[in-house]
């Protein structure tokens, strides 16, 4: 005996599939229209929206079939008074034009008109929806005296309930309680919206404060790097000048180096001041205002003929105009050498264009490390090693021999010369090392700084580049 298998699941036919697709497209179109309309409505001034809402509700209150739909509390016998009914209907809709600016006044006028309308037993009207909108508006928009409005509102509703009961309304007491709870829920819904709106405003304020603090911290790091490095180089070169008096050529070289260092410092400071002025003009021209970018001569050519620390854009295109001024590693090394510090630059791997953040961090890290080497390991051989990888850049700045970093306060968090307890390699430095550590960590990199086992001091960092730049 042969049994045939049957499948209870029926696949949709072509007509059903086409109908489903049409319905999905129509739903997507309606959703797009709704989003567009909502965005347009929210973009209009609040006062204009309130006036339009009051006008629409007024029109609907006298248009069929909504004219006879509305709230009716007491179920009193219907009384026909057309003129009075029209006036009270307008009293429940027109005050909504000031519901956001004067919510208490709006609720007072609407509530009074609603109470008189219900007490006289006039026909139902769609204008009674204005009471719910007025209650919601008080909860959502009242900024002052919100709690003071609760007791008058409760007293007014109790008085309305007593009047309706005295005029023979056939409602039991518990129905009045339920109606009151519904009205309170509408008020509470507005209060919830107001609370969420206030929380969102506070969140935005805190975000703005955090962004401001972060920008101030960034500018403080930039100013520290610029001033410390260039001023240190100028001081060291000036201190060495008296010992070069026997060689006029070397004195001339020293003075030229001091002048070049000062000009570079001025160029970077002018750029940062242009950022602080927030005029946008300094960022728009892509260079430091009033001077050439650091590491470049007045003619605009690199002093060493090389590209920036991967700072120049590929194919000779201009760098990002919003980026802070930054220079060339080779110029930086040469400047430090002219100050009397023996420095060697070792580059490993193929040099690739770096993202702006990584490029600036590499330059500042080497700049700050050389500044510390000049201050605390003056005259000792220093090596700068830069390894270019596909996904990261490795930097190490190390000096040989005994170092004075701990004694000079660079190895402690206080900066007053107190010695930290020996131990962890990740030490807490002053603004210089702390700023470098923050720079590197913001890019997701690794940073270490501390004494070397064979003497001296080293700063190491691995900075991600995000693969293809």
**DSSP-assigned beta bridge partners for residue 450:** 458
Contact of 325 with 287, CB cutoff 8 Å: yes
Query: Is the per-residue pLDDT at 105 higher than 70?
Result: yes
Considering only CA atoms, give the Rg of the chain: 38
List pLDDT tens digits, range 15-67. 667 778 788 888 888 888 888 887 887 778 888 999 999 999 999 989 888 87
Q: What are phi and psi of 37, to 5 degrees?
A: -65, -40
Is residue 149 scored above 70 in pLDDT?
yes
- In terms of DSSP H, where are the helices of 44-128? 46-61, 82-93, 103-119
pLDDT-wise least confident of 167-181, 274-288, 290-304: 290-304
Given a cut of 90, whether residue 8 has pLDDT beyond it is no
- 369-394 pLDDT, tens digit per residue, is 888 888 888 788 899 999 988 888 99
More confident residue, 351 or 244: 351
Cα separation, 249 vs 234, in Å, equals: 18
Residue corresponding to tokens 């590197």: 440
The C-alpha atoms of residue 264 and residue 339 are separated, in whole angstroms, by 15
The overall average pLDDT reported for the chain is: 76
Orientation of helix 173-240 relative to helix 356-376, angle to 10° = 50
| Mean pLDDT of all residues in 74-82 | 83
**Highest averaged pLDDT of the listed ranges 283-292, 329-338, 409-418:** 329-338
Higher pLDDT, 319 or 439: 439
Enter the DSSP assignment of 349: S
Measured CA to CA, the distance from residue 84 to residue 90 in angstroms comes to 10
Q: Minimum mean pLDDT among 17-21, 306-310, 374-378, 438-442: which range?
A: 306-310
The pLDDT of residue 182 is 93
Segment 163-176 shows an average pLDDT of 87
Across the chain, how many H-helices and E-strands are there? 12, 5
> What pLDDT was estimated at residue 318?
38
The residue with greater pLDDT, 469 or 62, is 62
Region of 76 please: left (phi>0), alpha (psi -120 to 50) or beta: beta
Residue carrying the six token digits 């909502």: 38
pLDDT-based confidence at residue 409 (cuts at 50, 70, 90): very low
**Positive or negative, the Cα torsion across 80, 84, 86, 89?**
negative
pLDDT band at 453 (very low <50, low <70, confident <90, very high): confident
Q: What is the mean pLDDT of residues 210-230?
A: 76
Please state, in angstroms and rounded to a whole number, the distance separating the CA atoms of residues 234 and 248: 18
């Amino acid at each position: 005996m042969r049994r045939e298998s049957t499948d209870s699941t029926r696949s949709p036919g072509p007509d059903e599939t086409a109908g489903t697709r049409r319905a999905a497209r129509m739903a997507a179109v309606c959703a797009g229209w709704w989003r567009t309309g909502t965005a347009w409505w929210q973009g209009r001034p609040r006062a204009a929206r309130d006036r339009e809402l009051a006008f629409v509700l007024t029109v609907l209150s006298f248009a069929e079939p909504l004219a006879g739909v509305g709230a009716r509390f007491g179920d009193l016998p219907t009384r026909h008074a057309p003129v009075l009914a029209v006036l009270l209907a307008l009293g429940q809709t027109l005050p909504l034009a000031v519901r956001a600016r004067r919510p208490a006044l709006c609720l007072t006028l609407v509530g009074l008109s609603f109470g008189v309308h219900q007490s006289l037993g006039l026909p139902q009207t769609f204008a009674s929806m204005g009471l719910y909108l007025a209650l919601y508006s008080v909860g959502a928009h009242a900024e002052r005296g919100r709690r003071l409005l609760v007791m008058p509102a409760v007293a007014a509703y109790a008085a309305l309930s007593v009047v309706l009961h005295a005029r023979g309304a056939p409602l039991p007491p518990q129905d009045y309680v339920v109606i009151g709870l519904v009205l309170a829920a509408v008020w509470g819904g507005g209060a919830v919206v107001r609370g969420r709106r206030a929380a969102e405003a506070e969140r935005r304020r805190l975000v703005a404060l955090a962004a401001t603090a972060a920008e101030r911290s960034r500018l403080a790091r930039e100013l520290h790097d610029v001033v410390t490095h260039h001023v240190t180089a100028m001081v060291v070169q000036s201190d060495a000048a008296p010992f070069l008096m026997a060689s006029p050529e070397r004195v001339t070289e020293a003075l030229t180096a001091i002048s070049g260092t000062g000009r570079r410092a001025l160029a970077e400071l002018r750029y940062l001041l242009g950022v602080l002025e927030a005029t946008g003009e300094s960022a728009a021209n892509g260079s430091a205002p009033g001077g050439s970018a650091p590491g470049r001569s007045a003619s605009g050519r690199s002093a060493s003929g090389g590209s920036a620390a991967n700072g120049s854009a590929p194919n000779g295109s201009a760098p990002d105009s919003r980026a802070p001024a930054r220079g060339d590693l080779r110029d930086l090394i040469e400047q430090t050498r002219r100050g009397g510090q023996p420095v060697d630059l070792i580059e490993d791997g193929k040099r690739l264009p770096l993202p702006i953040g990584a490029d600036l961090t590499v330059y500042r890290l080497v700049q700050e490390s050389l500044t510390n080497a000049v201050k605390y390991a003056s005259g000792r051989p220093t090596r700068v090693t830069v390894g270019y990888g596909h996904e990261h850049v490795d930097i190490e700045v190390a000096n040989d021999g005994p170092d004075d970093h701990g004694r000079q306060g660079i190895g402690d968090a206080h900066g007053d010369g107190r010695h930290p307890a020996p131990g962890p390699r990740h030490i807490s430095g002053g603004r210089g090392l702390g700023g470098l550590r923050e720079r590197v960590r913001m890019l997701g990199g690794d940073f270490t700084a501390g004494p070397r086992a064979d003497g001296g001091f080293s700063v190491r960092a691995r900075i991600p580049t995000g693969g293809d730049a």
